[in-house]
Structure 1
Amino acid sequence: MASAKDDVKLHDFKNIFSLSGKVAVVSGGSRGLGLHAASGLMQAGCSKVFITSRKAKGCEEAVAALNALPNKAPGARAISIPADSSKMSEIERLAQEIAKETSHIDILFANAGATWGAPFAAVDEKNGWDKVMDLNVKAVFFTIQKLAPLLQKRATLEDPSRVIVTGSVAGIGIGATGLLGTYSYSASKAAVLHLARNLAVELGPRHILVNGIAPGFFPSKMANGLLDAAGGVEKLGEESPNGRLGRGEDIAGTVVFLCSRAGGHVNGDTIVLDGGKIWGNSRL
């Protein structure tokens, strides 16, 4: 029978959130939530963080900012590999370029995405639907598929690799309707969170854990239009049970948790980051 003395023993608990020496890839990493996460990964000890997004200039600016962080590990570096995740050929090229720089990956934050807002009758097939679904779901699946061999390379039972996909509270509750209806965005985020559950079962036995995050409103270039239409940062913050909108540390801390030993038994789950607003809205 275990004693209290045995129960208080925890393996190297002071370093349970450490990502020392890990190699990470962040898609959609040049700004917003992706760059918040990349900063957290660097500061938690990653030795390499690959930043990819469609625009080369954005990637280069993000990498310069990450490499200037004063508390990153000695020798750690961020690396820019621009790629358009909406094209299969670009996803394949991304995997090839990453393989030239590293023999393995420990972490993939599949964060690239797009939104579209329009009245119900004005949503068009190509831009209002296909573009959003392709980038937010199809591209996420194939990015994970093409990088899976690198994720498996050093993954073990005790030290599994991690994949995190970015969903949204719009994929759990109801997204925006009316003049800025986000019908394809909401559907895509519900789909990508369920995709993560399926991949958790598929890839778990290969020692790759897959989870989703579902952010609420975080001030960002992609969300600012909806933020303004909904009344602005201050008003929306007051509507949340915890009294504020999301911050960079909220995303970075959650990603680091899921990628560290602290999150080693979390698989196929979704962490909601909205200060409780999704539940506050359901009050009678």
Structure 2
Amino acid sequence: LSIIAFLELLDAGNKKGNLVQKSQVIATSSIGAFNRVPLAGYAYGGSKAGVVHLMKQFATTLVAYDVRSNVIAPGYYPSELTEGMLKAKEETGFTKAEVPLQRAGNEDDMAGVILFLASRAGAYINGNVVVTDWGRLSVLPATY
């Protein structure tokens, strides 16, 4: 668990006192953590749910060190896992039944979430999951 390995560094960052907000760990999971249909397989969904729960536990444990822990759960973004599907969707596009916004996420979408969590705007957030899927979970059997 690399978070523990960096705990001294995160704590040292807080002690410098030159930041508006405290140190933070931001992990990436997936909406697969909440989807009750194993579209990418049982191991994938289970491992992503594990990341979410681990980060929530760290959010509680690391309070003593003034370190926040949050998770980003993206939907369809370009990756090795989605490469084939996104290539096929270049011609047909997404339907509202698949993704209400009818497009995959892009670098700007992800950057916005990361900047929000890392900025003063997200400085009061700890132990939360930011789902960035433009409604994908809302059209699937899911718990979030």
2:122 matches 1:263:
yes
- 1:277 aligns to what? 136
Tell me how far apart the structure 1 counterparts of residues 63 and 139 of structure 2 sit (CA, whole Å). 34
Residue aligning to 1:232: 89
Question: Which of these residues, 236, 240, 245, is aligned with residue 104 of structure 2?
Answer: 245
Q: What is the rounded CA distance, in whole Å, between the counterparts of 2:69 and 2:117 in structure 1?
A: 9
Which residue does 1:217 correspond to in 2? 76
The change in CA–CA distance for 1:217 and 1:226 in structure 2 (over 3 A counts) is same
- What's the TM-score, normalizing by structure 1? 0.44
TM score, norm. by length of structure 2: 0.83
Write the distance in 1 (CA, Å) between the matches of 2:120 and 2:80. Answer: 32
- CA displacement, residues 81-126 of structure 1 (integer Å, 9 cap, x when unaligned): xxxxxxxxxxxxxxxxxxxxxxxxxxxxxxxxxxxxxxxxxxxxxx
Q: Give the Cα separation in 2 of the matches to 1:212 and 1:175.
A: 21
CA contact (8 A) 1:200 1:208 kept: yes
Change (3 A) 1:237 1:244: farther
Could you tell me which residue of structure 2 aligns to residue 160 of structure 1?
22
Tell me the SS of whatever aligns to 2:124: coil
2:67 to 208, 213, 216: 208
The whole-number CA distance in structure 2 between the counterparts of 1:190 and 1:227 is: 23
Alpha carbons 1:152, 1:161 under 8 Å: kept: yes
SS of match in other structure, 1:165: strand
CA distance in 1, matches of 2:85, 2:101: 20
> Do the aligned residues in 2 keep the contact of 1:237 with 1:245 (CA within 8 Å)?
no
By how many angstroms is 1:226 displaced? 4.5
Cα distance change, pair 175–148 in 1 and its aligned pair in 2 (3 A)? farther
Confirm or deny: 8 A CA contact 2:35 2:140 kept in the other structure.
Answer: no
RMSD in angstroms over aligned alpha carbons? 2.1
Contact residue 167 and residue 214 of structure 1 kept, 8 A: yes
Task: Say if 2:93 and 2:103, in contact at 8 Å, map to a contact too.
Answer: no
The offset of 1:236, in angstroms, is 3.1
Identity %: 33
**Which secondary structure state, in structure 1, belongs to the residue aligned with residue 6 of structure 2?**
helix
Structure 1 residue 215: Cα displacement: 0.3
**Aligned to 2:72, what secondary structure does the other structure show?**
strand
Gaps of 5+ in 2: none
Stretches of structure 1 lacking an aligned partner (at least 5 in a row):
1-141
SS of the residue corresponding to residue 8 of structure 2 reads: helix
Q: Secondary structure at the residue paired with 2:115?
A: helix
SS in structure 1 of the partner of residue 94 of structure 2: helix
Which of 1 and 2 has greater Rg?
A: 1
Shift of 1:232: 2.3
